[in-house]
Amino acid sequence: MEDRDRLDWRLFEEGDQKAFDRIFQRHRRHLLKYSSYMTGSSAVGEDVVQETFMRLLEQKGSLTIRSSLKDWLFICARNHSLNLLAKRRRMEQFLPDVAGNNDCSDEMKWLIQEVLGKLNHDERDLILMREQQQYSIMEMATLLGISQEAVRVRLFRIRKKMYELGKRYR
């Protein structure tokens, strides 16, 4: 995927508009999923994805891909989500409305979204990176600029907190 991203980005910089569309199609889904569950709103998630690709467009001719375009897009969407949440913290609480758009009648799926909503931003970010985005501990440590041990410890604390929260709903 990384090679295809690099190729498509080069083609886009040379003027191939369809190459950008291919990048968009390839990454839109996982970014939307992360940002929607991160912000607790599918509408906000859409805005985050749109903003992320707008920023990518603005990087035409000046973007240097160090690791991968996927990581660049993810970090961009993550930062934007966290910024929105920091602004929103003063106004309202996290209210997961993501389930409202889905056939999510299953009680367990409802439960996990409730538990996600009870986590703070950083905890939700970390657990979504690991479980939903499937980043490895090493990748997370690199992206977040912290040690692998720190990621392990934080993940353990979050899982423990989720376990305790889950017990309350039983």
- Taking CB under 8 A as the criterion, the residue among 14, 17, 87, 93 binding another protein is 17
* From 62-70, 75-83, 87-95, 125-133, span contacting another protein (CB under 8 A): 125-133
Contact 14, 73 (CB under 8 A): no
Q: Which window, 36-44, 63-71, 76-84, 85-93, contacts another protein (CB under 8 A)?
A: 36-44
Q: With CB under 8 A, what is the number of residues at the site for another protein?
A: 47
In this structure, what is the dihedral angle of CA atoms 46, 95, 128, 71, given to the nearest 10 degrees?
30
Using CA atoms, how far residue 104 sits from 32, 148, 168, in Å, is 18, 34, 20
With contacts defined by CB under 8 A, name the span among 2-10, 73-81, 86-94, 123-131 that binds another protein.
Answer: 123-131
Q: Given candidates 49, 76, 119, 126, which one binds another protein under the rule CB under 8 A?
A: 49
HSE-CB for 137 with a 13 A CA cutoff: 10
The correct pick among 63, 65, 82, 104 for binding another protein (CB under 8 A) is 104
Single residue of 8, 23, 27, 53 touching another protein by CB under 8 A: 53
Three-state secondary structure call for residue 149: helix
- DSSP state at residue 146: S
Q: Specify the length of the chain in residues.
A: 170
Site pattern 68..97 for another protein (x: CB under 8 A): ------------------------------
DSSP 44-90: HHHHHHHHHHHHHHHTTTT---SS-HHHHHHHHHHHHHHHHHHHHTT
Q: Which residues bind another protein (CB under 8 A)?
A: 17, 20-21, 24, 28-29, 32-33, 36-37, 42, 45-46, 49-50, 53-54, 57, 98-99, 101-104, 108-109, 111-113, 115-116, 127-128, 130-132, 134, 136-137, 152, 155-156, 159-160, 162-163, 166
